Structure 1
């Protein structure tokens, strides 16, 4: 593990978890190198600062070895904490005990342990884990020559193992079809355009065959079936059917909430996906219902990183609904109503969510005539110079250029444009049209020209504007901030 991995892991720790780690390690490991590294990671956070400080304190020590050991100890602590709440993880831990007992030539104890695990395995739908446990039990029975079990009982146990494999196979087929559908819809159709339903008949027929087979349906298979349908309907333009499926999917999770993960990441991912789909089809009036469901996932029993992820995601979707409706004043009130910790804490738990949240907060302050606050919020994104080259990071950097243009910070503006061009130089596809339009418009210095001159200059941008509107992917970017409208406004004012 490298230093970046340790920093990422440490950033997910709550204050209580950091205190717990210090207490666990302080008693017997006082003065150890990895403890000093842990302090540096939690206090500095910057890899360069950590490396320099570590070298000064321990010039002869290996940072790589200390990093690997620290990562191992942190993972061990988090796994131990999770054992109390995660049924699947508890089964895996129990299986390690069964293996150990078998290696120690204690077959009776191994069988007893496997049966204890199987009797308590109803809290998980992981059929593969259950099968492995059942297989362990049958293997141990074979080792003791099936002592104490009749042939009829043995056949019944073997049938249980077969049923578990059937369920595992059925789930795999569900996953395979859902993944194929998702891949085909994403990569075989133009961005933002509904796909032709006839192009997916083969997958639909296979999915129907799985649903109609004799394998007993379980919450996991029902979830995959509804995910398949919701993804299909929302991407083929059947939005009413997609919406009905969303409600069914949410109802399924609420019905089976108790045996789900701790924290309920599956339910979070589903609600997040549903809201993203609703946003994609502009069904903003339907989003508040699912946003409310999402907010209810926050619970004091769950880790802090998960609760902050829920808070960030809830606020993000609330702001996106308000922005879509042009309710800029209400959006500003919503930002001010939440704790500043929602923006600052656990920023690395979901980098894309954090990126979008900071962007929308910056945009809302800009729309409320507070450009200074807008720049301040976006500064951490820009100064970080993230390796993340996602389209939304590019939007943030372009919007940052807009903010500095508005404040006439010409020296910084020139530097940032040159820096951005270097940043995008390695792209195989080159600079996108939106960015070309933005850079070209700034280079024409519209604030220095007469109205007549600007009208002439605007005509030179017409081809780029047309190209942007014809490109579905670039048109979608304009829903976040209309760069085209902003550029053209500078040539008519």
Structure 2
């Protein structure tokens, strides 16, 4: 990212309080410095970009240096934001204390130095920040060594070495545990949900290794070890399609986080992951009634965090407020909800992570399909495909299939044939990574000469029904159908039924 783009992103992420703080910091420079000219241009531009900002800058400051000024503005903004983080994020405070201790020691203020280090060690232990604890203990021992351990007993020295070794052991266990969790999440993102028994066996190997680490660690009483262990279990259960067990694991995690709020990261990305897991599990088991309780918790996170985190959390909130209506085919309610989120979400979609943005465009497309607004559906699904950041991820195949559905509705059959061949090649080259549902959708989209008479269509659907029912009985296939019930769309096309009515019938059938 170019420096000017970074500055634009930083400025647009500032809250009102942060903008006020920055203005107070630079008040003495106002109307004098070139960097403030750039700041003024960006804040007053509706859709700023690097080129227009540079052109406007040279109109106001013909003899100025844009590159120097933009770099200086970047440094001023980051310094201002770092100042604001003090007393708001314990991690910043602890590292700041370490820097203070070093400075005080260098100026021979030994008593003040050890006082700060002692306080830092105590806080690092309380917040279970083993990395800071290791550095603080190392500095303390190094300074004590230089001073020949003044007023210190051998027992006290032994205790400090013991604390160091215990912190190192915990870091090693957490690192081993995190590496397995990272591998699990990587496979989910780049390979997708489990589709075959062999893939499940590969995941079982990860589970066995993680259980071994958890069993050999004193997870009880250590928040990070317990959190990582339960997160791994919950994610594993989700990937294997055991949604009820996953729901219980996520609820246990929610209780763990609620009881240990002092250990939340800032922004609370781990707790956001837990809430997403709970809501996802509730959706998959069809328990929409419990969702509002956890959605309220999600709303509280959105009011207290950074701008980028807030936008991504808002997208998550929108999705899970949307799903009860989308799953039931209530597209009118879906449209009303989209309108409510136009300003807080759709206007800020540039801040979304690539995956979250693609999910938003995918579900927006499905809403437009339900409303039979195929022109809008084509626009949104095409925007999702443009993003090269998810080009090779499993979600892209689903997005491409939905685009084929839009082509089908718009009767663009030549495009369907061309795109289907490309998708089919991808599926055939990785059969272990494909769903039967994907092949079914492609087969139907390329099906020629559907029966015309109603009784013939009903007979055609009747012959297809056993295969459809088998998909719903397969927990691996359910991992794709949980995104959207594509079989309901196929049924609505064959029987010429309303999609809303078909989705509602499928939901009612699941309850029986």
TM-score (norm 1): 0.74
* 8 Å CA contact 2:237, 2:243 repeated in 1: yes
Q: Which residue of 1 aligns with 2:10?
A: 9
* 8 Å CA contact 1:11, 1:346 repeated in 2: no
Q: 2:220, 2:146 → 1: CA distance?
A: 32
Q: CA 1:197–1:250 in structure 2 vs 1: closer, same or farther (change >3 Å)?
A: farther
Equivalence map 1:82-481=2 (5 Å): 82-183=85-186, 192-193=195-196, 195-197=199-201, 200-201=204-205, 203-205=207-209, 207-214=211-218, 217-276=221-280, 282-285=284-287, 288=291, 291-292=294-295, 294-298=297-301, 300-303=303-306, 305-337=308-340, 340-345=343-348, 347-369=350-372, 378=380, 382=383, 386-390=387-391
Instruction: List alignment gaps of at least 5 residues for structure 1.
Output: 456-468
Q: 2:41, 2:231 → 1: CA distance?
A: 43
Query: How far apart are 1:46 and its partner, in Å?
Result: 2.8
Q: 1:56, 1:487 → 2: CA distance?
A: 59
User: Which deviates further from its counterpart, 130-139 or 329-338?
Assistant: 329-338
Q: Which residue of 1 aligns with 2:499?
A: none
Q: 2:359, 2:214 → 1: CA distance?
A: 38
Instruction: List alignment gaps of at least 5 residues for structure 2.
Output: 458-470, 497-512
Query: How far apart are 1:217 and its partner, in Å?
Result: 4.1
Q: CA 1:478–1:302 in structure 2 vs 1: closer, same or farther (change >3 Å)?
A: closer
Q: 1:393, 1:51 → 2: CA distance?
A: 36
Q: Which residue of 1 aligns with 2:37?
A: 36
- Residue deviations 1:403-422 (CA, integer Å, cap 9, x gap): 799789x9xx99x99xx99x
Q: 1:358, 1:198 → 2: CA distance?
A: 32
Q: 2:387, 2:67 → 1: CA distance?
A: 23
- Residue deviations 1:137-196 (CA, integer Å, cap 9, x gap): 121111211112222222222222222222222211211232234445666787544643
* 8 Å CA contact 2:35, 2:70 repeated in 1: yes
Query: How far apart are 1:221 and its partner, in Å?
Result: 0.5
How large is the RMSD of aligned CA atoms in angstroms?
4.9
User: Which deviates further from its counterpart, 103-112 or 386-395?
Assistant: 386-395
- Residue deviations 1:27-46 (CA, integer Å, cap 9, x gap): 22533222222233342333
Q: CA 1:301–1:283 in structure 2 vs 1: closer, same or farther (change >3 Å)?
A: same
Q: 2:334, 2:287 → 1: CA distance?
A: 16
Query: How far apart are 1:218 and its partner, in Å?
Result: 0.6
* 8 Å CA contact 2:267, 2:309 repeated in 1: yes
- Residue deviations 1:327-360 (CA, integer Å, cap 9, x gap): 2233234334557334324741545434433543
Equivalence map 1:39-54=2 (5 Å): 39-42=40-43, 43=45, 44-54=47-57
* 8 Å CA contact 2:177, 2:228 repeated in 1: yes
* 8 Å CA contact 2:173, 2:213 repeated in 1: no
* 8 Å CA contact 2:241, 2:476 repeated in 1: no
Q: Which residue of 2 aligns with 1:22?
A: 23
Query: How far apart are 1:75 and its partner, in Å?
Result: 1.7
* 8 Å CA contact 2:174, 2:224 repeated in 1: yes
User: Which deviates further from its counterpart, 44-53 or 217-226?
Assistant: 44-53
TM-score (norm 2): 0.72
Q: Which residue of 2 aligns with 1:461?
A: none
Q: 1:47, 1:296 → 2: CA distance?
A: 34
Query: How far apart are 1:364 and its partner, in Å?
Result: 2.4
* 8 Å CA contact 1:95, 1:133 repeated in 2: yes
What secondary structure does 1:146 align onto?
coil
What secondary structure does 2:301 align onto?
coil
Q: 1:406, 1:186 → 2: CA distance?
A: 30
User: Which deviates further from its counterpart, 360-369 or 224-233?
Assistant: 360-369
Query: How far apart are 1:132 and its partner, in Å?
Result: 1.0
Q: 1:124, 1:321 → 2: CA distance?
A: 39
How many corresponding residue pairs? 466
Query: How far apart are 1:318 and its partner, in Å?
Result: 1.8
Q: CA 1:260–1:474 in structure 2 vs 1: closer, same or farther (change >3 Å)?
A: closer
* 8 Å CA contact 2:299, 2:317 repeated in 1: no
* 8 Å CA contact 2:378, 2:406 repeated in 1: yes
